[in-house]
Amino acid sequence: MTQHLILLPIVNQLLVAVLLMFFYGKVKTQRVLSVAGSVLNLIIAGLVLQRVASHGFLTLQAGNWQAPFGITFIADHFAALMVLLTAISGLAVSFFSTKTIHVKRVKFGFFPIFHFLLSGLNGAFLTGDIFNLYVWFEVMIISSFVLLTLGARKQQLEGAVKYFTLNLLASVIFLTAIGVLYGITGTLNMADLALKVPQVENRGLVHVTAILFFIGFGIKSAVFPLYFWLPASYHTPPAAVSAIFGGLLTKVGVYALVRMFTLIFTDDLFLQRMILGVAVMTIFSGALGALVKNDMRKIFSYLIICHIGFMIGGLGMMTETALVGAVFYLIHDIVVKTNLFMVAGMVKKVTGKQDTRVMGGLYSTHPLIALLAAVPLFSLVGFPPLSGFWPKLELFRAALTDGFYTTFAFLLFGSFITLFVVAKMWKRVFWGEIITPLKQGFTLFDDETPQRKLMFLLPIVFLACVSLYIGLGANHVWQLSQTIAGELMDPQPYIEAVFETLNSAEYEN
Amino acid sequence: MEILLAVTVGLLYASGMYMILRRSLVKLIIGLILLGNGANLLIFILGRISKGKPPIIPETEKFFIDAYADPVPQALILTAIVISFGLQSFAIVLIKRAYKVVGTDDLDEMNTTDEEI
């Protein structure tokens, strides 16, 4: 029975989504149910991680079909942690949506789709079967299409066309890669693939498959030549939607890349060099993009791309220290990016504007919001005790000790530009002359009741606290990242866990 | 038979790619549909085509004694077809709506998202 705990994060979100559909037009009930479901999911995700930490990997063979034949679900520390981070971001965004998503959008089914998206995310993290991963990716992207287009404004639809085309193309490439991999190995189970791929004699075909996977996941995680859909679409939907997209969707791509290239396509110098090359170009182009943009959410979109490069770079270096850095960065980035897009929504709510050039004086008019915004912004830069500092330190250390000097230079460049961009934004938005807010068809923050004001700020406070914990309690997070990196470097326990499930299940009965 | 199918897969991928690169929204969707079908057919071939060998274990035996037709690729294709059907219907509604709201089906004119505010 305890093994079934692994399915709960997926099933819980699915049930919440289905339940929400029964209250289709009822806005208040939907809001309460969504937050309640997210809280429940946070508890479940905490339990899963606690169980993995105390009892080792959780595995479940769907329908009791033994490992390489059936669909396997497996939660190692990495998957369990990602589920927990999804739950944290999901709770914050769900709470943020209750006040910021317009009633009309809620009536068109915002909340059920939001929970389907989270269900797909959890599924993608927990599955141990590559075709099942494809299915969860589809669950996720179809939900994201609906969230992106809900409301159907001109800008949203134009952004959605680009987002849709490139994500669908990524899915087709991913499916092609699965087909070729099945053709050469005859299996879909990831642990089984880890055993069989190294035995394939036709290395050329394995390389091609690996690159197909890299392109497929690369489009989804917005790496260098494939990221153009991201800055074209992430600033168009409501702030809550961009928050969940910016926090989690690209990171699933990174998660899948880390899984594929540490478990299945390992020990390959050519692939590592390719990943490193793509990573430095991603850092470079993301940083330059962020420099020239003025829309707050567009700046954050480019910063996402820049920081994806950090994580992919950690993967490309392929040493234990580098993986610790990459995993730690992933933890930090999910929380901070979700929070930043909510802050951008908040700033728009206060000023009525998106263009940073025409804002100013928020620090003197709303010191509390400025303080709240300072936490994720300074964490992003990597201000010493805050959360961005530690993973960057780890990545720099990895690059220097193993002689990846070019990567080191680009990491430094990316960090420096991030600092510059954030400083510029801080100067424009929070310092300077006080500028009167622009009325734009929604109630401005200052005209809201104090109770509603508090509701707007609570999710940002919550994520700021999580980010402070990651920074100040870095020791715990670092240990966890260390465990994860150890598991990624040595996939043997993962493979054994998948193949021994049935025996242990019999033992328990 | 395999060569014929392989050539068809190649043609589907090539024409799909070509259509995606066109400027018209409708051709873009047609390209995506062709690519999806190409991928499905590719999985079908990679499951090895065999004639008259059902994956059934004879009553007298305990395991397969002969080569058999692999049922997994067909299950995969079935799933992939259902998913792509859903995505395609969404795509068609999306382009219809985008055409109505933006007033053009030329992708080069859909660039307000990249402009500065």
- In whole angstroms, give the CA distance from residue A428 to residue A437: 15
**C-alpha closest to that of A125 among A32, A241, A210, A13:** A13
Do the beta carbons of residue B23 and residue B38 sit within 8 Å?
A: no
Q: Please give the structure tokens belonging to residue A197.
A: 């791929």
DSSP code of A383?
Answer: -
Gap from B91 CA to chain A (nearest CA, Å) = 8
B114: chain A residues, CB-CB within 8 Å: 231-232
A476 at interface of B, judged by CB pairs closer than 8 A: no
Chain-chain contact of B42 with A164 (C-beta, under 8 angstroms): no
B41 at interface of A, judged by CB pairs closer than 8 A: no
Among partner residues A149, A236, A355, which is closest to B113 by beta-carbon distance?
Answer: A236
- Residue type at B37 in one-letter notation: N
Whether this model's ipTM surpasses 0.90 comes out as yes
Chain-chain contact of A142 with B87 (C-beta, under 8 angstroms): yes
Answer yes or no: is B61 within a domain.
Answer: no
Q: How many domains is chain B partitioned into structurally?
A: 1
Tens of pLDDT along chain A (509 residues) come to 567 888 999 999 999 999 999 998 888 999 999 999 999 999 999 999 999 999 888 888 887 888 788 899 999 999 999 999 999 999 999 999 988 888 888 888 899 999 999 999 999 999 999 999 999 999 999 999 999 998 888 888 888 999 999 999 999 999 999 999 999 998 899 999 999 998 888 888 999 999 999 999 999 999 988 998 999 899 889 999 999 999 899 999 999 999 999 999 887 888 899 999 999 999 999 999 999 998 899 999 999 999 999 999 999 998 999 999 999 999 999 999 999 999 999 998 888 888 888 888 888 888 888 999 999 999 999 888 888 899 999 999 999 998 899 999 999 999 999 999 999 999 999 888 888 887 777 778 888 888 888 888 999 999 999 999 999 988 999 999 999 999 999 989 899 888 875 555 444 44
Q: How many CA atoms lie within 13 A of B78 on its CB side?
A: 5
Tell me, what's the pLDDT at A507? 44
* Main-chain phi, psi angles of A60, to 5 degrees: -145, 130
Answer yes or no: is B110 within a domain.
Answer: yes
B25: chain A residues, CB-CB within 8 Å: 161
Answer yes or no: is B100 within a domain.
Answer: yes
CA A456 to chain centre: 22
Question: Model confidence over B7-47: pLDDT tens digits?
Answer: 999 999 999 999 999 989 999 999 999 999 999 999 998 87
A155: chain B residues, CB-CB within 8 Å: 112-113
Q: How many CA atoms lie within 13 A of B60 on its CB side?
A: 1
* Domain carrying residue B99: 2-52+67-114
Tell me, what's the pLDDT at A509? 41
Gap from B60 CA to chain A (nearest CA, Å) = 23
Q: Mean per-residue pLDDT for B91-99?
A: 91
CATH number assigned to the domain comprising residue B83: 1.10.287.3510
Gap from A157 CA to chain B (nearest CA, Å) = 6
